[in-house]
């Protein structure tokens, strides 16, 4: 009895089915007041689905939910918000065409006495978390991490008793992550509970009090954080023991493959570097440093002022992604929903997208070969999908990412560019992607990898470049260097 009073949320026996998928199977959770409650699990474990049920986006099929002592049968997003449950969704949840201030107070315009009041209050909130974003800028003009901060601010603007954060840190920099940590502690001290979902286990260990581990729609275990070790957690998540989070670094570095010279755009200044055969080159920098711009410019996706590329000793021109692909380059973009996938199309169609031009004979396609590719990649990458014909829209984030990566693997690219390839991907899948990366370099290809997770870059790459403000500011060998030195250069 006594204990029950302290619970903010009690979920018992919740089940959710999607066509062909049992997303949640009799899930039960108990979340006390004033704790940070971590939920971890592989991609497709059902974490996001559970959160969407709590916030009223999906209907549950079975089970009961009790929020703040009240049984909730049916809820809608607005009711959930009013009750005091706010959520930061995994996918961005902002209106790009409106200003930061208006987004924070979306739908509550009159509560703040019009435009001026809204922006004023938004300013106060942003200041309170130490963000310098101008409330009058359009959200569409922000970078991924700035958007994330706006989302966090938005969740704070409600007087919530429970805040769900579904991978809030996936695009935050170290600096911002620190701020987020402070915010979380502040909230917890005020007696507000937080559900924290992340694939970055360090954060889980740092912030959370209790952790629930999910796999395939089931709750595997719930334990206070002190009673868990990292490897134990990983083992429970993936259902087997993983010795290392990173495979051994591959060392096949050979002669120069791609030389980038004198690359200038409106944002980039004098970028020069060389990529060698069999090398994984990491690009490190703060958000907005221009890493994405560098690789897009190389790939021919953006306009450039000047650019010289030398591939295998021969000067080449790359003025469009088409040229880039013809030279054996491939790009996995950072925003998979907008730039990577055709969400309405099937998993298979998304996988074969890049390879179509290879299997077409004089422009005529071969359905049989397409099928082969689909099945091969689904097996190779262990993509969790009912069938190749299922819509990619319904896959979990990690599995969607695998589709985008898989599309290029089929082509054995010489240069594969990966922009945040493991964003929102679970440990198991990450490992698989790392192994795949190693396989590519083994075959003589080379990889440029952008990642905001420093450990990942340091463990995977043979060489690291730091980018700051559109310039390359340093070159390091990750085995020899101290991470703090790299961050130093990245900050500028």
Partner 1 sequence: MDTKRVFIKAKQVLLKQKAVLAILAMLILMLFFNTQFYSVYNWMNVFRSATVQGIIAMGVTMTVLCAACDLSVGGIMCLSGVITVLMINSGMPIAVACLCALLAGAAVGLVNGFLVVHQRTEPFIITLGMGTLLKGICQQLTDAHPIACTNMEFMKISNTKIFGHIPILVLYMAIILVIFFCVLRFTTYGRNCYAIGGNYDVAKYSGINTVMIKWSTFVISGVMAALAGILLSSRMNSASSVYGDNTGMLVNCGVVIGGTSFAGGIGGVVQSFIGVFVLQLMSNCMDCLGIGAYVQQLLQGIIIVLILGFDCFGRLRKREHV
Partner 2 sequence: MGKSIDVKKFLLHNLVLLGIVVLCVVTAIVEPLFLTQNNFTNILRQFGPLSFVALGMTYVIIGGFLDLSVVGIISLVGVVTLSLIDPLGQVGALLCGLLLGTFLGFLNGVILVGFGARIQAEVLFITYGMSSIFGAIALIYTNSETEHMSRLSNPYTIFTWIGKGKVGPLAVSMILFVISLVAVEWFYRKTLWGRQIALMGGNKIAATLCGYNMKRTMVLVYTICGLFAGMGSIVLISRVTTASPVAGAGYETDAIMSVVVGGTALAGGTGSGIRTVLGVLLIILLSNCMNMLGVSTYLQTIMKGLVLVIAIWLDNRKEQQIH
Ligand X SMILES: Nc1ncnc2c1ncn2[C@@H]1O[C@H](COP(=O)(O)OP(=O)(O)OP(=O)(O)O)[C@@H](O)[C@H]1O
Task: Report how many residues bind ligand X under the rule CB under 6 A.
Answer: 35
- Would you say 187 or 341 has its CB closer to partner 2? 341
194-223 positions binding partner 2, by CB under 8 A = none
Q: Is 353 in the site for partner 2 (CB under 8 A)?
A: yes
CA 319 – CA 317 distance, rounded (Å):
6
292 contacts ligand X (rule: CB under 6 A)? yes
User: Scanning residues 120 to 149, which ones bind partner 2 (CB under 8 A)?
Assistant: none
Alpha-carbon span 73 to 141, nearest angstrom: 40
Paired tokens of 330: 């491939």
Which pair of tokens denotes residue 368?
A: 């049989």
Q: CA gyration radius for the chain?
A: 23
- Cβ-contact 470, 290 below 8 angstroms: yes
Q: Does 108 bind partner 1 (CB under 8 A)?
A: yes
CB of 31 to ligand X, least distance (A): 17
Binding partner of residue 407 among ligand X, Mg ion, partner 2, none, CB cut-off 5 to 8 Å per kind: partner 2
Residue 145: burial class (beta carbons within 10 Å; 0-12, 13-18, 19+): buried
* Cα–Cα distance for residue pair 411/331, rounded to 1 Å: 12
Task: Look up residue 247 and give its DSSP letter.
Answer: P
Q: What is the DSSP letter of 227?
A: G
CA distances from 210 to 93, 165, 196, 280, 417 (A): 27, 15, 10, 37, 38
Contacts with partner 1, 51-90, as mask; x by CB under 8 A: ----x-x-------------------xx--xx----x-x-
Assess contact for 63 and 13: CB atoms under 8 A.
yes
Choosing from 364, 379, 480, 482, the residue that interacts with partner 2 (CB under 8 A) is 364
DSSP code for 337: I
Residue 335 makes contact with partner 1 by CB under 8 A: no
Would you count residue 97 as binding partner 1 (CB under 8 A)?
yes
For residue 384, count other CB atoms closer than 10 A to its CB: 18
Under the criterion CB under 6 A, does residue 59 sit at the interface with ligand X? Answer: no
The H-or-E segment that residue 163 falls in is strand 162-166
- What residue 363 binds from Mg ion, partner 1, partner 2, none (CB within 5 to 8 A, per partner kind)? partner 2
- The interface partner of residue 97, options being Mg ion, partner 1, partner 2, none and the CB cut-off 5 to 8 Å by kind, is partner 1
- Residue 414 contacts partner 2 per CB under 8 A: no
Cα gap 136→448, rounded to integer Å: 36
Binding characters for partner 1, 295-314, by CB under 8 A (x = yes): ------xxx-----------
Q: Which option in Mg ion, ligand X, partner 2, none does residue 343 bind, with CB closer than 5 to 8 A by kind?
A: partner 2
Calpha distance 490→492 (Å, rounded):
5
Beta carbon nearer to ligand X, 157 or 396: 396
Smallest distance from the beta carbon of 154 to partner 1, in angstroms? 8
The residue from 9, 14, 21, 201 that contacts ligand X (CB under 6 A) is: 21
The number of beta carbons lying within 10 Å of the beta carbon of residue 400 is: 25
**Residues at the site binding ligand X, with contacts judged by CB under 6 A:** 18, 21, 23, 41, 43-49, 90, 141-145, 285, 287-293, 334, 384, 394-398, 424, 426, 452
- Residues in touch with partner 1 (CB under 8 A): 55, 57, 77-78, 81-82, 87, 89, 93-98, 102, 106-110, 114-115, 136, 266, 301-303, 320-321
């Amino acid at each position: 009895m006594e204990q029950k009073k302290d619970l903010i949320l009690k979920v018992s026996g919740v089940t959710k089915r999607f066509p062909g998928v049992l997303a949640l199977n009799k899930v039960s959770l108990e979340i006390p007041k004033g704790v940070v409650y971590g939920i971890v699990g592989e991609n497709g474990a059902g974490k996001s689905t559970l959160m969407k049920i709590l916030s009223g986006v999906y209907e549950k099929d079975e089970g009961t939910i009790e929020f703040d002592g009240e049984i909730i049968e049916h809820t809608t997003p607005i009711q959930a918000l009013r009750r005091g449950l706010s959520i930061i969704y995994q996918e961005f949840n902002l209106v790009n065409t409106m200003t930061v201030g208006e987004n924070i107070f979306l739908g509550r315009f009159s509560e703040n006495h019009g435009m001026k009041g809204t922006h004023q209050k938004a300013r106060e909130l942003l200041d309170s978390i130490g963000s310098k974003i101008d409330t009058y800028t359009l959200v569409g003009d922000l970078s991924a991490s700035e958007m994330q901060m706006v989302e966090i601010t938005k969740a704070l603007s409600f007087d919530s008793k429970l805040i769900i954060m579904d991978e809030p840190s996936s695009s935050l920099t170290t600096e911002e992550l620190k701020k987020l940590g402070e915010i979380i502690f502040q909230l917890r001290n005020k007696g507000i509970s937080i559900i924290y979902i992340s694939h970055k286990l360090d954060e889980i260990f740092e912030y959370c009090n209790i952790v629930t581990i999910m796999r395939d729609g089931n709750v595997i275990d719930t334990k206070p954080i002190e009673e868990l070790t990292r490897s134990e957690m990983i083992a429970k998540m993936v259902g087997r023991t993983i010795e290392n989070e990173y495979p051994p670094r591959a060392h096949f570095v050979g002669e120069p493959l791609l030389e980038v010279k004198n690359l200038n755009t409106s944002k980039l200044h004098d970028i020069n570097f060389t990529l060698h055969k069999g090398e994984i080159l990491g690009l490190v920098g703060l958000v907005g440093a221009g890493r994405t711009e560098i690789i897009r410019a190389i790939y021919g996706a953006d306009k450039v002022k000047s650019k010289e590329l030398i591939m295998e000793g021969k000067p080449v021109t790359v003025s469009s992604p088409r040229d880039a692909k013809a030279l054996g380059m491939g790009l996995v973009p950072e925003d998979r929903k907008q730039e990577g996938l055709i969400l309405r199309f099937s998993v298979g169609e998304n996988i074969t997208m890049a390879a179509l031009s290879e299997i077409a004979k004089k422009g005529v396609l071969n359905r049989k070969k397409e099928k082969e590719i689909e099945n091969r990649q689904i097996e190779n990458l262990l993509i969790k999908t009912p069938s190749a014909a299922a819509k990619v829209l319904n896959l979990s984030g990690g599995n969607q990412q695998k589709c985008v990566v898989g599309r290029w693997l089929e082509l054995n690219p010489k240069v594969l560019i990966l922009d945040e390839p493991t964003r929102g991907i679970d440990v198991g899948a990450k490992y698989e992607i790392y192994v795949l990366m190693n396989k590519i370099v083994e075959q003589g290809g080379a990889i440029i990898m952008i990642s905001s997770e420093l450990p990942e870059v340091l463990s995977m790459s043979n060489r690291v470049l730091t980018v700051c403000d559109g310039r390359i500011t340093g070159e390091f060998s990750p085995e020899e260097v101290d991470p703090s030195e790299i961050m130093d250069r990245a900050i500028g």
